[in-house]
Amino acid sequence: MAKGTIHNKDVFLNEIAGKLGRERRKDVTLPRWQHQPQWEVYKNDSPDDLLAIFRQSSQAKDAHVVETDRANLAETLQKVVDAYGGESIVATNDDRFAAYGLNDVLDTNHTHRWDTALGAENIEKANAANIGIFFGDIGLAESGTIVQFNDKDIARSVSLLPITYIAIVPKSSIVPRMTQAAHEVHKQVEAGKDIATCINFISGPSNSADIEMDIVVGVHGPVKAVYLVVE
């Protein structure tokens, strides 16, 4: 299959047009909206301002925000791991752990690194883990959300299955809101780059208020969430 191939596109669109009782429209262009307020939110805020908003939004969602700098990141990560019980840990297979000097912390704690050669065993390890550790690709200040670009090595299971997840968030990655994250993906598409096979927006621990609007934490996934913000 050629890159970017869409199967059965014409059949699908012709079917929709037929159901609508009209000819299919083929000359469609993106509209130019006169008003785009989404770009105005926190437009002129500094990185420190965005961090303050991110912190407040995250804490409102029961995420524990820990701030440190790069020189103290390894020590801080170890303290967070100890505070949340350590024991079994799983981490994504991400070169940033080495770049940020965290390999020793992972090795000391006998961390299972995601290994595609192990297949389903990785999921079993993640399911049994107390802590999952991964890097967030983008932080959204407005909602206290971590954006994770997944692929075969950056597995969703690491943030979804353990009791606690620790997301390492570079301060420089924090943007105002989802608008900027979606724009980043669009830029990758326009540049012809391979985009993530799955993009997850993760806000705090798992919770649900489906039943009588009472929030219950830990229904579908992690009970605790830690955002480790790195200056």
Q: What does the alpha-carbon distance between residue 207 and residue 224 come to, in Å, rounded to a whole number? A: 10
Planar angle of CA 113, 119, 124, nearest 5 degrees: 70
pLDDT per residue as tens digits for the range 149-177: 999 999 999 999 999 999 999 999 999 99
- pLDDT value of position 226: 97
What per-residue confidence (pLDDT) applies to 43?
93
pLDDT in tens, 112-158: 999 999 999 999 999 999 999 999 999 999 999 999 999 999 999 99
pLDDT of residue 3: 62
Terminal C-alpha separation, the chain: 43
Alpha carbons 86 and 116: distance in angstroms, whole number = 24
CA angle 65, 141, 175 (to 5 degrees): 120
For 22-75, write each residue's pLDDT tens digit: 989 888 888 888 999 999 999 999 999 999 999 999 999 999 999 999 999 999
Query: What are the tokens at 127?
Result: 């399911």
| pTM of the full structure | 0.87
Mean pLDDT of the chain: 93
**Span 87-97, average pLDDT:** 96
**Mean predicted confidence (pLDDT) in 80-84:** 96
Query: Which neighbouring-strand residues pair with 170?
Result: 230
Cα 136 to Cα 167: distance, rounded to the nearest angstrom: 6
Domain 45-230 has CATH 3.40.50.2300: no
What confidence category does residue 83 fall into, taking pLDDT thresholds of 50, 70 and 90?
very high
* Whether residue 1 has pLDDT greater than 60: no
- Domain layout of the chain by residue ranges: 45-230
